[in-house]
Amino acid sequence: MKAPIKWLKDYVNINVSPKEFSDAMTMSGSKVEGIEVQGEEITKVVVGKILSLEKHPDADKLQVCQVDVGNEVIQIVTGAQNINVGDFIPAALVGATLAQGKKISKGKLRGIESSGMMCSIEELGLEKEDYPDAPDDGIYILGKEYPLGLDIKEVLGLNDTTVEFEITSNRPDCLSIIGLAREAAATLKTEFIRPTVSIKEEGDEAQKYASVEIKDPELCPRYAARIVKDVKIETSPKWLRDRLKAAGVRPINNIVDITNYVMLEYGQPMHAFDLRDIEGEKIIVRRALDGEGIKTLDDIDRKLDSSMLVIADEKRAVAVAGVMGAANSEVREDTKNILFESANFNGTSVRLTAKKLGLRTEASGRFEKGLDVQNVVSALDRAVQLVEQLNAGTVCKGIIDCFAKKDEERILKFNTDNINKLLGTQVSTEEMIDIFKSLEIDVDADNFTVKIPSFRKDLEREADLAEEVARFYGYNNIEATLLAGKASSMGKKTYKQKIEDIIKNTMISCGLSEVYTYSFTSPKVLDKIRLPEDSELRKTVVIQNPLGEDFSIMRTTTIPEMLQVISTNYNRRIEEVNLFETSFVYLPKDIKELPVEKPVLTLGMYGKVDFYTLKGVVEELLLKLGITNYSFSPQKDNPTFHPGRTAVININDKYAGIIGEIHPEVTDEFECPERTYLGVIEIEKLIEFSKMEAEYKSLPKFPAVTRDIAMLVKDEIMVKEIEDILLQRGGKILEEIKLFDVYKGKQVPEGMKSVAYSITFRASDKTLTDEDVNKVMAKILNGLKTNIGAELR
């Protein structure tokens, strides 16, 4: 809401600077978004008098003028033809700025020095309409004599400042000059000058020309109208146009301007109908018929339905209530008699109608917040008073006022102690009463009750009154305290939250950096990762109103986003990338129930890494979480992954995740490096099986015996199979096995590989003899030979 300070001053004395005013208003709740000083961009333009005019020696169309600008005489070369010696003109000095930031500097025109410029009305950023004495083309000759050197802005009346407020949705009353003036008076602790309006009403009875019927009082509690006869449609006077423009509204003609002026001043949207277009001389406020058509003022044909309210005559709709009038009853050049509408409509209904029609207007934006029923008639009176003031027509006697549903008067109790207790203050009852009164709230001090004015629908209970007290006591005057004794508790993270921290920290210490990706995605990515048609993950939570197809489903897998991040980095020629993300996947249940939000850890890497780098990170994590009963088994048939380089992770025999190299068709789709490694681990499984309490085991007292063995096995034998045999056959004295070599090539037959282990034995109660170890080794070798056909090398 843009409020020109001059306009506000009609209703409140503001005797502080615009900056001080703005700061004070911001701190009492009417946040100032900006201050606009009229003609701010125009500088160093003064009143000058033309002393002499000579033809330019080298240019026919130029003249050389001597101009007295008060403290000096400057020479200006000009192409203007409408000037004469003795004229008073706006003279821009060297260093001046004009409209659109145009700067004036010293220069030469065809060899003759020019130290300034004479200005037209447009060059001063103004409109000819506002200065009718300005010529269509040429320098603006000031009609009168002014002191030479006087700032031109004073001559032109450019000295208003407009303050732009951000008004919160609970305060539609502040979307008006009067509402803001009321707030300003309370803020500046000065008097609010109540509007007074007197009307002559020189016409005959309004009732003779029209009547009003409200068919739906729920949607239209009140509808008031006045009749103005013999209107003269013309341009509004300058003061009115100035105020509208300062408030950001384009002037049109006197009648339209009056409706806009009253809307800005009183906060009550109005409409003017051409009375000859109201058939049957009757206004009927009713719901639209389903499919009823109307051409609105913006010349668009619209289809209505029965949820919408229209203003109609006996035959047709003439306006969409609270939104926009119809072209069929518009005020035109030849309009004779008009009907001014000032009404109150149900906010929700207007909002939904405007939304359905895709037509949000200044009026609908105001109605939807819920306006004051009592304001309807005051605004209407103000409108016709302006008609009289502007000599725009003859106002008929009386108001046609249909008040179908009255507001209930709201009386609230207040308790000084309760309010102070909520705020943590010691504001006295007297101070509180003063604050309420400054806001036009009637106080019954004996009964501790207040009568809420009709324009303050937001005040519903004591907490709302507490806010009013706090606003004018000053939020920042409230003493800062800490919750001593209250809500005292020990803050800590839950076990789950701690494990999540450990997961992140372990990833970071393993060299992985954290990423954040969007949790909605495109259904197409499920094809790109080659998800089978019948995959459960294709059942997704679908957004009804997405920003676009690319953001239309909640993800059921995090793989595509990780691949996307990898692709972004790869395309930017980054050689090495190690990343992780902890996030949710969203798995739908029943349509009426919320989906399951499952937390997952996603890992992604490329560069100088391979499957085992990724596996190492996972093993590090499992170790850190005290998880020992896990296994990695080959996974050949996950279509997103390489069939020979992918493993499923099981913890305590339950599926806990997958890691592997991404399938080349998938890396191709995402433009990822050929060797891209990715893992997805279920965080819930990590939490479930984590074991964070450590227990000390005494250090060994007896020495260990180590034996190294190398064996030839078939290529397809996995080391897991060898290790299972080693562990099983090694018995109690086996302490540790360590794989130290896997070799294929020279000296190893085709289809075979050499695998070497270092096996450590130790007993807890004695020093092992060779014999003890030999016995176990024999068992092991036998097992290896019979179970997997291993040959010792």
**Segment 140 to 169, residues that bind other proteins, using CB under 8 A:** 168-169
Toward other proteins, which CB reaches closer, 479 or 770? 479
Phi, psi of 287 (to 5 degrees): -75, 150
Q: How far is the CB of 514 from other proteins (least distance, A)?
A: 4
Q: Based on the shown chain and the rule CB under 8 A, indicate whether residue 507 belongs to the binding site for other proteins.
A: yes
Toward other proteins, which CB reaches closer, 484 or 699? 484
Q: How far is the CB of 532 from other proteins (least distance, A)?
A: 25
Tokens found for residue 357: 């029609």
Q: Based on the shown chain and the rule CB under 8 A, indicate whether residue 56 belongs to the binding site for other proteins.
A: no
Q: How far is the CB of 534 from other proteins (least distance, A)?
A: 23
Q: Please list, in sequence order, all residues whose beta carbon lies within 8 angstroms of the beta carbon of residue 558, skipping any fewer than 6 positions away.
A: 517, 581, 583, 585, 600, 602, 680
Interaction mask 572-591, other proteins, x per CB under 8 A: x-x--xxxx---x-x----x
Q: Which one of 236, 259, 335, 425 is in contact with other proteins (CB under 8 A)?
A: 425
Q: How far is the CB of 513 from other proteins (least distance, A)?
A: 4
Q: Which one of 196, 198, 447, 488 is in contact with other proteins (CB under 8 A)?
A: 488
Q: How far is the CB of 699 from other proteins (least distance, A)?
A: 27
Phi, psi of 23 (to 5 degrees): -60, -45
- Confirm if 48 and 83 have CB atoms less than 8 A apart: no
Q: Which one of 81, 348, 782, 786 is in contact with other proteins (CB under 8 A)?
A: 348
Q: Please list, in sequence order, all residues whose beta carbon lies within 8 angstroms of the beta carbon of residue 446, skipping any fewer than 6 positions away.
A: none
Q: How far is the CB of 626 from other proteins (least distance, A)?
A: 22
The owner of tokens 């075979």 is 752
CA distances for 192 relative to 13, 19, 439, angstroms: 8, 20, 9
Q: Based on the shown chain and the rule CB under 8 A, indicate whether residue 551 belongs to the binding site for other proteins.
A: yes
Q: Based on the shown chain and the rule CB under 8 A, indicate whether residue 352 belongs to the binding site for other proteins.
A: yes
Q: Among 43-51, 285-293, 518-526, 743-751, which window interacts with other proteins (CB under 8 A)?
A: 518-526
Q: Which one of 226, 271, 351, 762 is in contact with other proteins (CB under 8 A)?
A: 351
Distance of CA 360 to the CA centre of its chain: 18
Amino acid at 304: L
Q: Based on the shown chain and the rule CB under 8 A, indicate whether residue 417 belongs to the binding site for other proteins.
A: no
Of 765, 763, 757, 766, which is closest to residue 792 (Cα–Cα)?
Answer: 757
CA distances for 652 relative to 630, 655, 681, angstroms: 6, 9, 14
Q: Which one of 134, 240, 510, 649 is in contact with other proteins (CB under 8 A)?
A: 510
Toward other proteins, which CB reaches closer, 388 or 550? 550
Q: Which one of 298, 305, 442, 514 is in contact with other proteins (CB under 8 A)?
A: 514
Pairing relation of β-strands 317-320 and 309-312? antiparallel
Q: Among 28-36, 60-68, 439-447, 724-732, which window interacts with other proteins (CB under 8 A)?
A: 28-36
Q: Based on the shown chain and the rule CB under 8 A, indicate whether residue 747 belongs to the binding site for other proteins.
A: no
Q: Based on the shown chain and the rule CB under 8 A, indicate whether residue 423 belongs to the binding site for other proteins.
A: yes
Q: Would you list the DSSP string of 266-333?
A: HS--EEEEEGGGSGGGEEEEEEPPTT-EEEBTTS-EEE--TTSEEEE-SSSEEEETTTEEBGGG---T
Q: Based on the shown chain and the rule CB under 8 A, indicate whether residue 623 belongs to the binding site for other proteins.
A: no
Q: How far is the CB of 688 from other proteins (least distance, A)?
A: 17
CA distances for 777 relative to 128, 241, 516, 764, 770, angstroms: 108, 105, 52, 18, 10
Q: Please list, in sequence order, all residues whose beta carbon lies within 8 angstroms of the beta carbon of residue 496, skipping any fewer than 6 positions away.
A: 687
Q: Based on the shown chain and the rule CB under 8 A, indicate whether residue 18 belongs to the binding site for other proteins.
A: no
Interaction residues for other proteins, span 208-237 (CB under 8 A): none
SS3 call for 8: helix
Toward other proteins, which CB reaches closer, 215 or 461? 461
- Confirm if 31 and 475 have CB atoms less than 8 A apart: no
Interaction mask 74-113, other proteins, x per CB under 8 A: ----------------------------------------
Q: Among 261-269, 405-413, 507-515, 711-719, which window interacts with other proteins (CB under 8 A)?
A: 507-515
Q: Based on the shown chain and the rule CB under 8 A, indicate whether residue 71 belongs to the binding site for other proteins.
A: no
The owner of tokens 């004794």 is 485
Q: Based on the shown chain and the rule CB under 8 A, indicate whether residue 508 belongs to the binding site for other proteins.
A: yes
Q: Among 241-249, 506-514, 621-629, 718-726, which window interacts with other proteins (CB under 8 A)?
A: 506-514
Interaction residues for other proteins, span 679-718 (CB under 8 A): none
Toward other proteins, which CB reaches closer, 178 or 585? 585
Q: Could you tell me the maximum CA-CA distance found in the chain, to the nearest angstrom? A: 130
Q: Would you list the DSSP string of 391-454?
A: T--EEPBS-EEEE-SPPPPEEEE--HHHHHHHHT----HHHHHHHHHHTT-EEETTTTEEEEPT
Phi, psi of 187 (to 5 degrees): -70, -45
Toward other proteins, which CB reaches closer, 170 or 429? 170
Of 193, 194, 186, 195, which is closest to residue 438 (Cα–Cα)?
Answer: 186
Q: Which one of 197, 463, 727, 792 is in contact with other proteins (CB under 8 A)?
A: 463
Toward other proteins, which CB reaches closer, 105 or 513? 513
Q: How far is the CB of 536 from other proteins (least distance, A)?
A: 18
Q: Based on the shown chain and the rule CB under 8 A, indicate whether residue 368 belongs to the binding site for other proteins.
A: yes
Distance CA 598, CA 581 (A): 13
Toward other proteins, which CB reaches closer, 16 or 574? 574
Q: Which one of 85, 411, 478, 792 is in contact with other proteins (CB under 8 A)?
A: 478
Q: Based on the shown chain and the rule CB under 8 A, indicate whether residue 369 belongs to the binding site for other proteins.
A: yes
Q: Based on the shown chain and the rule CB under 8 A, indicate whether residue 494 belongs to the binding site for other proteins.
A: yes
Q: Which one of 60, 84, 533, 547 is in contact with other proteins (CB under 8 A)?
A: 547
- DSSP alpha helix (H) spans, 576-630: 611-624
Distance CA 180, CA 183 (A): 5
